[in-house]
């Protein structure tokens, strides 16, 4: 358990949290009073804006990851949406990532754990009866829930054999079709059924080997990297004197609970466009109202993501080739699943504000997710490509990213291998290289894209 979790539990034990939340909600209109869908939308948006303003006044850097988390949670409320979504917050130790997860800990339809083994999805213990095993299996416990895990870093640092098994299990569970496993102790057991859930986790960062394994087994995890803030000494000194961080977080949590309570007041409709199913509000999506331009952008960024996180088998060829690396054919994922998942994230963001159609307002959180989901080296150099209008030299990379010339050349060759850029060799012996964004991706250096950046 992290230090912030320990302090959180000291200040706000579970019963106190639940009681305070109830007292706050009771100050609002009685939730049993009928309201129209239109009135509900207005009131929900008002609570959303209140939450936004409060966060930006007190801890402004908290808003973007909180917006991401709320969007993931609301995917659960989209009627007929059955594909699980897993989003992992990435940030340095002692940052806000654990705070975001903890904010939702005592809300409804949540399953929280500080740590878990992927084998606990379906348990295998000799001598324990099937009914007892079903009680301890985690997979049915997270069904139709917002699954929260505060620290996944230890899981991603396992050795390669263990990691391969872990990613394999997670990949299967994220298909949404259950999980059936075999062991010598219990034989075959599991759940061959649709199991929908959404997942919010936190980790320091994702090692390259994890990206490589996910690329081979099917990349189904999405990441959201929190920016590293350069806090100066004077700022930290003032923060030390104030000592008001946890009280601010408490106030934000109460505002979040009020917002979530308002969402739960969505009126059930006679035409079944809004229903209650598995203790969840389920709202029918209005596909015809979806903005066409927004859908096209989602397709473009899903295609980009396939190239950014493509797996490229490499061989070192030092002294034999100018780039010192040889690359096999890149394994680039097909875009359909990513399109579905990114659209679902956009829909979750829209629904968080009471809309049942997506617009350009929903793009920033999706774009930020895509630019966080690939390895940090590839994302950094793609950002640099955007900043330099699609063309980079070895010198620009070494200077801007503090990379050695051999490392810069390796990254440049890797981007060529994943078919993101064209590469030109220098005619001199300086080993200076130039990469240029391929024509298919030129939209990303346009003003239209820059306007959508979070």
Q: Each residue's pLDDT tens digit in the chain (454 positions)?
A: 444 444 445 444 444 444 454 444 444 445 556 789 999 999 999 999 999 999 999 999 999 999 999 999 999 999 999 999 999 999 887 678 889 999 999 899 999 998 888 888 998 887 788 888 888 999 999 999 999 998 888 888 888 888 888 888 888 999 999 999 888 777 888 899 999 999 999 998 887 778 777 776 666 899 999 877 666 666 666 666 667 788 899 999 999 999 999 999 999 999 999 999 999 999 999 999 999 999 999 999 999 999 998 887 665 555 444 455 567 777 888 899 999 999 999 999 999 999 999 999 999 999 999 999 888 888 888 999 999 999 999 999 999 988 888 888 888 888 888 899 998 876 655 668 899 999 999 999 988 887 766 6
Angle between helices 292-308 and 376-387 (to 10 degrees): 120
- CATH number for the domain formed by residue range(s) 3-271: 3.40.50
Contact 301, 441 (CB under 8 A): no
Give the pLDDT of residue 130: 82
Give the pLDDT of residue 428: 59
Q: Comparing C-alpha atoms, which of 33, 140, 44, 51 is closest to residue 104?
A: 51
Half-sphere CA count of 154, side-chain side, radius 13 A = 10
* The pair of three-digit structure tokens given for residue 436, joined into one six-digit string: 């240029």
- The pairing of strands 198-203 and 274-277 is unpaired
Give the pLDDT of residue 177: 94
Give the pLDDT of residue 155: 83
Q: Comparing C-alpha atoms, which of 340, 354, 367, 280 is closest to residue 47?
A: 354
* The pair of three-digit structure tokens given for residue 384, joined into one six-digit string: 């640099």
Q: Comparing C-alpha atoms, which of 377, 382, 391 is closest to residue 433?
A: 391
Give the pLDDT of residue 93: 76
Residues 6+ apart with CB under 8 A from 100: 62, 65, 66, 69, 89, 200, 202
CATH 3.40.50 maps onto the chain at: 3-271
Give the pLDDT of residue 430: 60
* The pair of three-digit structure tokens given for residue 42, joined into one six-digit string: 């207005």
Contact 195, 176 (CB under 8 A): yes
CATH 1.10.10.10 maps onto the chain at: 288-452
Give the class (CATH, top level) of 288-452.
Answer: mainly alpha
Task: Report how far apart, in Å, the C-alpha atoms of 311 and of each of 145, 360, 388, 434 are.
Answer: 32, 31, 26, 22
Q: Comparing C-alpha atoms, which of 382, 345, 380, 341 is closest to residue 364?
A: 345
pTM for the predicted model, two decimal places? 0.87
* Alpha-carbon gap, residue 73 to 199, rounded angstroms: 8
The burial class, CB within 10 Å (0-12 / 13-18 / 19+), for 404 is exposed
């Amino acid at each position: 358990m992290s230090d912030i979790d320990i302090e959180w539990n000291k200040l706000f034990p579970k019963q106190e949290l639940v009681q305070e939340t109830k007292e706050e909600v009771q100050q609002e209109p009685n939730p049993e009073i009928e309201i129209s869908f239109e009135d509900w939308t207005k009131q929900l948006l008002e609570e959303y804006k209140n939450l936004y303003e409060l966060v930006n006044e007190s801890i402004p850097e908290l808003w973007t990851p909180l917006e991401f988390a709320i969007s993931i949670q609301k995917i659960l409320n989209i009627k007929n949406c059955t594909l699980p979504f897993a989003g992992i917050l990435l940030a340095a130790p002692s940052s806000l990532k654990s705070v975001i997860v903890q904010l939702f800990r005592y809300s409804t339809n949540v399953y929280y754990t500080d740590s878990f083994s992927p084998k606990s999805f379906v348990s295998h213990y000799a001598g324990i009866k099937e009914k007892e095993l079903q009680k301890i299996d985690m997979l049915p416990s997270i069904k139709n829930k917002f699954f929260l895990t505060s620290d996944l870093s230890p899981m991603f640092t396992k050795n390669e054999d263990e990691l391969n098994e872990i990613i394999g299990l997670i990949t299967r569970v994220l298909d949404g079709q259950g999980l059936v496993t075999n062991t010598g102790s219990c034989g075959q057991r599991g759940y061959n059924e649709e199991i929908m859930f959404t997942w919010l986790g936190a980790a320091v960062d994702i090692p390259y080997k994890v990206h490589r394994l996910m690329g081979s087994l099917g990349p189904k995890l999405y990441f959201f990297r929190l920016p590293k803030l350069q806090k100066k000494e004077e700022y930290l000194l003032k923060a030390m004197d104030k000592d008001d961080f946890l009280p601010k977080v408490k106030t934000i949590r109460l505002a979040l609970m009020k917002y979530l309570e308002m969402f739960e007041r969505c009126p059930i409709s006679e035409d079944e466009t809004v229903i209650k199913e598995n203790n969840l509000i389920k709202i029918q999506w209005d596909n015809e109202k979806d903005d066409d331009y927004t859908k096209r952008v989602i397709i473009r960024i899903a295609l980009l993501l396939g190239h950014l996180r493509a797996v490229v088998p490499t061989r070192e060829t030092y002294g034999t080739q100018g780039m010192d690396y040889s690359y096999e054919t890149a394994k680039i994922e097909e875009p359909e699943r990513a399109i579905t998942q990114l659209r679902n994230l956009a829909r979750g963001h829209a629904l968080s504000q009471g809309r049942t159609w997506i617009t350009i307002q929903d793009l920033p959180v999706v774009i930020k997710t895509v630019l966080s989901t690939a390895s940090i080296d590839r994302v950094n150099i793609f950002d640099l490509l955007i900043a330099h209008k699609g063309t980079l030299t070895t010198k620009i990379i070494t200077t801007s990213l503090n990379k050695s010339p051999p490392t810069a050349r390796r990254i440049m060759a890797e981007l060529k291998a994943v078919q993101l850029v064209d590469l030109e060799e220098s005619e001199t012996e300086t080993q200076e290289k130039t990469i240029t964004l391929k024509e298919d991706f030129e939209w990303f250096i346009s003003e239209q894209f820059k306007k959508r950046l979070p």
